[in-house]
Structure 1
Amino acid sequence: MNQRNQPILEASRLQLGATYLGEGRCSFEVWAPNAKIVELHQVSPNDRILPLRSERGYHRATFEKVAPGARYFLRLDNTIERPDPVSRFQPEGVHGPSEVIDSYFEWTDSDWFGLPLRDYIIYELHVGTFTQEGTFAAIIPYLPELKELGITAIELMPVAQFPGDRNWGYDGVDLFAVQNSYGGPNELKRLVNACHQVGLAVILDVVYNHLGPEGNYLRDFGNYFSEDYHTFWGPALNFDGPDSDEVRRFFLENALHWQTDFHMDALRLDAIHAIRDASAFPFLQELSQITQRRSEMLNRRFHLIGESDLNNPRVILPGNLGGYGLDAQWSDDFHHCLHVLLTGEKNGYYADFCGIKRLEKFFREGYTYTGEYSLTRRRRHGLPPKLNQAKQFVVFSQNHDQIGNRMLGDRLANLCSFEDLKLAAGCVLLSPFIPLLFMGEEYGERAPFQYFISHTDRGLVEAVQKGRREEFANFVWEGEVPDPQAESTFNACKLNHRLRTHESHQNLYDLYRELIEIRKSVPAITNAEKDSLEAQASESQNVLFVRYYTPDDEICLLFCFAQELTTCTWEIPIGGWQNILDSAMERWNGKGSKVPHEIRSNGRLTITLSPKSFVVLRRIKQT
């Protein structure tokens, strides 16, 4: 065991926060070096003040007659009362009392051991807008449908307690508490349990780079924030300064909390490029080591997926190669390349991703920028991920950020043609990378996904409204920015699942299901890696050619982004090839395929592609 880890998680025998011990006994532990005296103010079911013992910044005690359901504040130096920083439940919101809960839950997933990351087909969803009810319980009836589609993992946007009842979740301030308006901790456990029952893994999006502004009381307790760094969202957290061991303990216990108490299969770590940490043993590396040890103890796979725009392979290299040891990372480069090809938008950061050669490079390497000069960054960007596997990159044509950070929150279904939507699906699901779908894209959902909040601080609301307007200064978009505070903005984002039964939407859904089935059943695609693929692009014809090969299987993909019929010639191995899918087929609501069902190559193949289409050719095995 790395000795560095020992004092952080074993600073005491107790967990942070309130731990119910049974028979009306409950232990409390809080790190609050900024207070000389910390007391427990139990406000229900009876009102009493109970002292905590202090030792080296920690305040601890075990009390009788404190059962689940008891609500309390922590009183600091007889002056202010605050919710517990490690509250497990905030039934009255971020400013109200914390509630003691019993962590016991009757799990029925003892035969669930998780999934290998290479098998993940991820479905990202926002709990509040996925259903009209906006709760964990309301998601459960849709799980069989997601399983039938071919999804293997759902990813929940952050569920840590945030202000009000509508928010993306990145304004969370009580990181151990499960959002009350979604149903609270037991309802989240029921959802995870139900996912495991049907064979779905669960990823939870967590935010370790900042806290939201409203209800953020950590400064009253300790040195949680750095004096040396700042982030886009406000003060950076203290991962490398004085008292950073205790701050790390807070976040390490949070990760173990989701991994152990909630049976999560993976964490998606939000914007890790905003985690400022110059220490010799970075927090992310420590997080990787500790969660891996817990995974081995639980005998259940567990993965860490980072969101990073650094194009730095160190993020996903193992520790013994000098990396942080994260299992995978979100890769925005893929999205940006694809988005420019589909929409023609070249504003803002999209200016760096023009041309089909950019997408070709991503297929070959996993990053588009590996040290080249970036016009928008005005510097060189990235390093080659030579030692990383394709299944370490999560790719998408849409996600919460790339839709929600548009001024109107418009999806591809509102920006592109039906043929474009099919082409986007093919690029993502037939890539060698880990695919991610954003809720509703599989049937062409048209409801926007806009930014929404429900803060109570009027000054903060006005600041957010102003910030949203300023955010789009570099983009040429018409119209007014939707008011993020308005409930109507939130309600407009709720999915219309009935849309899937309409003809063209059902057709798109069926294509997604077919593509996922091909991905799972065709070995050359299932096992595709960077060292077993070829990628070539024709800029003049706007066509990308990708070939996957294994000793027993071979696939050729042609993605045509041209606006008109295109005839192109590619070097392709000699032999017979079967057209197993052409998005221009009438079956997929196209105008008819120009590619024969079976074709023969003499080493070079000339083929006519329909506009905005893709074709999947599979080598015919000799009998």
Structure 2
Amino acid sequence: MSAHATIRLAAAQRRRRCFMLLVMAALLAADLAVAQVADAPLGATVQGQGAARSVVFRVWAPNATKVGVAGDFNGWHADFLQPEPNRPGHWVLESRRARPGDAYRYEMEGLLRRDPRARAVDVDDNKGVIVDSRTYAWGPAANWTMPPKEDLVMYEMHLSTFAAGIPGQGSPFELARKRIPYLKALGINCIQLMPVNEFPGSRSWGYNPSDLFAVESSYGGSTGFRDFIKACHTNGIAVLLDIVHNHYGPDKIAVWQFDQRLSESDGGIYFYRDEERALTEWGPRPDFSREEVRTFILDSVKMFLDEYRVDGFRWDSVHNIRYTQNGQRSNADGDRLLSEANAWMRKNRPAALRIAEDHAFDGGGVGFDAQWNSGFQAELSEFIRSADTLRELSGFATELERLDGFTWVNFAECHDSAGDLNRHHRLPVYIDPSDPNSLRARALSLLANGIVMTVPGFPMMLQGFEMHDTADFSDNIPVPWTRALKTHAGIVQATRDLIHLRRNLKGHTPGLQGEELRVIHLDDDAKVLAYSRRIRNTPRDHATVVVITFSPNPLKQHGVRFPSTGAWFCHFNSGLAAYAKDFDNLGPRPGTGYNLPAGQTTLPLDMSRLSMLVFSKSRPPGATLTKAPYAPEIESPAGREPSEPRPVTDFVEEVLDPFPYVFVPLPAEWHP
């Protein structure tokens, strides 16, 4: 073969190899694109970058024979999705014309439906909006870690009313960010945010969700929510989200009769359709027996954890997930949903909190960390607002000693107990209906908050409680910021001091972060109660002691039993004039110490009426120490007979004891 022929052959072989490589690359790219489409989650998912960017539309519509998607990107002339051969009832389309920000909706044989998984929606126009969640820049907040559970102090926030009274322009999320320094200074490090899913209109408590993947547009939408969480995390504040999956709507629900027209009361593929399970008192109940519905809910949970970086959830009305027929029947489908969601979180987001409003632990539980303690709230409210001479301390002491560990979220008020929709009122109004700003109402409300901050569990307060808000909680009444800044600034300061003690920020009250509570003094005649708080398996000397007087009159040199002899230092006195000019201003100031000599564990104390004192053996800077006056020893209350809980008339989520729970085992094929 000549030299020229050899060169031509080599060149031809090189061209052939290049061609084959190009073909292989094209095939690999095609396979990759197919794989990306196949792996795309349900909804409108943005993939790729620049010229390679596309949007994959996937939807579950098992009763449809044809599904199109119309939007800004195709002039609202539908492009048709294709059925997925390996996923019955699922449809898919990859569009290279669709872009983030484009509005769209599905068309199914005359039905116009917005995407149930759209990250943003226009409910009135029945459209979804494409959102690319990948592009958000978290900055330093990307390194955020959740505070330890024993350090959390929660603040229940309703976004629009929290933001409504804040000066300036912007969405509620933007305005609320202006008050994050206030919450941080107060010591709050966890916001428990009432629902922010899209709902019809612009005003609501949030428990009527229409779109479970979209953030309420009037609040500031998905970007506003991310900005809010980013600001919270940057300032050391966790965000727990209240979510509603026991019912949807009842109005303008995105998934209602999604892929077919039915009778007025039949919700279609996403809802139970039998009479026993179809409805709750607030709206239709999702069909937890269907894998696609459970996946829909679980994917919403994952979305808020992954795309918004929330720090956990409070599940609304678990009762209506785990039970039907007003609690007469347990619902294994609901148990399976909650078990799957909590198991996924425990494995993939172990630091995120899993909180139930109610019925978390029936039948051995379904994986929740904690439950709202509505029963304790009702007991505390009833006790606090009782006539001063009629308070029976022994029964209340029994309630306190039932609290153990971190399985309860404790509060004196919540949106339900203080809300106008339930015809309820704020605690000060119940204490003194004629003058909820009276000395008695202020002292007792502060005392209730002090109890919440010093008992085991997660402490929580409803927005405004720290400033002695007396208006019913409502979706149209703003937080009265002038009270916090002016008229009730002292109560805010007292709340701050309590929170700082609870979080042990100065290192003097570690017992308040412990799991144990033991009543050490009980005088029903004088209305004085004391309990010690400590971390489990630590010495008595490490206890933090809380002394409370429910007496309507100041007390002088009243003997109170302490856990041991030695030096005890005061760290808080709720009766000081620094908190309210008309308080009695009696008793030890923070930094005052008393040395109990050997053989003496009773300390005589002056106390303002309706007040709380907090002591520990940790000496603060600049403290004084004097020998305690002699006092005869007081017998320990440990031998008292436990009292039966008193019936309460205030709000409690479940007025009756739970119906007998019939445990139904999860299917054998289910694995967390």
TM range (shorter): 0.7 to 0.9
Match of 1:209 in 2: 246
CA displacement at 1:519 relative to structure 2: 1.5
- Using the TM superposition, name which of 545-554 and 171-180 deviates more: 545-554
459, 469, 474: which one aligns with 1:435: 459
Check whether the contact 1:364–1:535 (CA below 8 A) recurs between aligned residues. Answer: no
Q: Distance in 2 between matches of 1:37 and 1:358?
A: 65
Post-superposition CA distance 1:251-302 (Å, at most 9, x none): 1000000000001111111111111331496221211111233326xxxx31
Q: Given the alignment of the two structures, is residue 29 of structure 1 paired with residue 58 of structure 2, yes or no?
A: yes
Q: Given the alignment of the two structures, is residue 587 of structure 1 paired with residue 587 of structure 2, yes or no?
A: no
Check whether the contact 1:360–1:535 (CA below 8 A) recurs between aligned residues. Answer: no
SS at match of 1:390: coil
SS at match of 2:503: helix
Q: Distance in 2 between matches of 1:60 and 1:412?
A: 54
- CA shift in 2, pair 1:174/1:437, >3 Å: same
Match of 1:233 in 2: 282
Q: Which amino acid aligns with 1:272?
A: V
514, 517, 531: which one aligns with 1:546: 531
- CA shift in 2, pair 1:217/1:105, >3 Å: closer
Q: Given the alignment of the two structures, is residue 306 of structure 1 paired with residue 356 of structure 2, yes or no?
A: yes
Q: Distance in 2 between matches of 1:74 and 1:541?
A: 70
Q: Distance in 1 between matches of 2:83 and 2:527?
A: 68
Check whether the contact 1:159–1:179 (CA below 8 A) recurs between aligned residues. Answer: yes
445, 463, 482: which one aligns with 1:421: 445
331, 339, 361: which one aligns with 2:398: 361
Post-superposition CA distance 1:37-87 (Å, at most 9, x none): 2221225672211112224121222112000121112122x1211111111
Q: Given the alignment of the two structures, is residue 496 of structure 1 paired with residue 480 of structure 2, yes or no?
A: yes
CA displacement at 1:539 relative to structure 2: 4.6
- Seq. identity, %: 28
Q: Which amino acid aligns with 1:262?
A: Y
- CA shift in 2, pair 1:12/1:207, >3 Å: farther
Match of 2:374 in 1: 332
CA displacement at 1:405 relative to structure 2: 4.7
CA displacement at 1:218 relative to structure 2: 2.0
Match of 1:519 in 2: 502
611, 616, 619: which one aligns with 1:618: 616
Q: Which amino acid aligns with 1:156?
A: L
Match of 1:64 in 2: 96
CA displacement at 1:219 relative to structure 2: 3.6
Q: Which amino acid aligns with 1:288?
A: N
Q: Distance in 2 between matches of 1:406 and 1:359?
A: 29
Q: Distance in 1 between matches of 2:422 and 2:145?
A: 41
Q: Given the alignment of the two structures, is residue 96 of structure 1 paired with residue 133 of structure 2, yes or no?
A: no
Match of 1:401 in 2: 416
Check whether the contact 2:554–2:584 (CA below 8 A) recurs between aligned residues. Answer: no
Q: Distance in 2 between matches of 1:94 and 1:529?
A: 50
SS at match of 2:332: coil
CA displacement at 1:577 relative to structure 2: 2.5
Q: Given the alignment of the two structures, is residue 16 of structure 1 paired with residue 42 of structure 2, yes or no?
A: yes
Match of 2:136 in 1: 105
Q: Distance in 1 between matches of 2:560 and 2:361?
A: 32
Q: Distance in 1 between matches of 2:605 and 2:316?
A: 43
Correspondence 1:170-249 to 2 at 5 A: 170-221=207-258, 222-226=268-272, 227=274, 228-229=276-277, 230-240=279-289, 244-249=290-295
Q: Distance in 1 between matches of 2:37 and 2:335?
A: 19
Match of 1:292 in 2: 346
Q: Which amino acid aligns with 2:40?
A: L
Q: Distance in 2 between matches of 1:69 and 1:153?
A: 32
266, 278, 282: which one aligns with 2:332: 278
SS at match of 1:410: coil
CA displacement at 1:210 relative to structure 2: 0.7
Match of 2:111 in 1: 80
Match of 1:3 in 2: none
Q: Which amino acid aligns with 2:137?
A: E
Check whether the contact 1:295–1:302 (CA below 8 A) recurs between aligned residues. Answer: yes
Match of 1:379 in 2: none
Match of 1:577 in 2: 568
- CA shift in 2, pair 1:146/1:114, >3 Å: same
Q: Distance in 2 between matches of 1:96 and 1:498?
A: 40
Q: Distance in 2 between matches of 1:63 and 1:595?
A: 72
Post-superposition CA distance 1:350-390 (Å, at most 9, x none): xxx98544542332223xxxxxxxxxxxxxxxxxxxxxx52
Q: Distance in 2 between matches of 1:29 and 1:535?
A: 63
68, 89, 94: which one aligns with 1:39: 68
Check whether the contact 2:420–2:472 (CA below 8 A) recurs between aligned residues. Answer: no
Q: Given the alignment of the two structures, is residue 506 of structure 1 paired with residue 506 of structure 2, yes or no?
A: no
CA displacement at 1:560 relative to structure 2: 2.4
CA displacement at 1:562 relative to structure 2: 3.3
SS at match of 1:234: coil
Check whether the contact 1:173–1:216 (CA below 8 A) recurs between aligned residues. Answer: yes
SS at match of 1:146: helix
Q: Distance in 2 between matches of 1:233 and 1:93?
A: 20
CA displacement at 1:441 relative to structure 2: 1.6
Q: Distance in 2 between matches of 1:280 and 1:232?
A: 17
CA displacement at 1:559 relative to structure 2: 2.2
> How many pairs does the alignment contain?
526
Post-superposition CA distance 1:3-59 (Å, at most 9, x none): xxxxxxx99622121111144511111222232322212256722111122241212
Check whether the contact 2:520–2:562 (CA below 8 A) recurs between aligned residues. Answer: no
Match of 2:385 in 1: 343
Check whether the contact 2:186–2:495 (CA below 8 A) recurs between aligned residues. Answer: yes
Q: Distance in 2 between matches of 1:408 and 1:196?
A: 35
SS at match of 1:336: helix
Q: Which amino acid aligns with 2:427?
A: L
Match of 2:635 in 1: none
Check whether the contact 1:173–1:212 (CA below 8 A) recurs between aligned residues. Answer: yes
- CA shift in 2, pair 1:620/1:246, >3 Å: closer
Q: Given the alignment of the two structures, is residue 258 of structure 1 paired with residue 284 of structure 2, yes or no?
A: no
- CA shift in 2, pair 1:499/1:605, >3 Å: closer
Unaligned runs of 5+ in 2: 1-35, 165-169, 259-267, 323-330, 432-440, 620-624, 627-672
Check whether the contact 1:83–1:95 (CA below 8 A) recurs between aligned residues. Answer: no
Q: Distance in 2 between matches of 1:540 and 1:208?
A: 49
Q: Distance in 2 between matches of 1:139 and 1:280?
A: 35
TM-score normalised by the chain length of structure 2: 0.73
Post-superposition CA distance 1:232-251 (Å, at most 9, x none): 323322223xxx21111001
Q: Which amino acid aligns with 2:357?
A: E
- CA shift in 2, pair 1:564/1:168, >3 Å: same
SS at match of 1:210: coil
SS at match of 2:178: helix
Check whether the contact 1:210–1:233 (CA below 8 A) recurs between aligned residues. Answer: yes
Q: Distance in 2 between matches of 1:447 and 1:202?
A: 25
SS at match of 1:587: coil
Q: Which amino acid aligns with 1:20?
A: V
Post-superposition CA distance 1:536-586 (Å, at most 9, x none): 655544443211243352222122233334686554334233333221222
Q: Distance in 2 between matches of 1:577 and 1:207?
A: 47
- CA shift in 2, pair 1:218/1:357, >3 Å: farther
Q: What is the RMSD computed on CA atoms of the aligned residues?
A: 2.9
Q: Distance in 2 between matches of 1:45 and 1:291?
A: 39
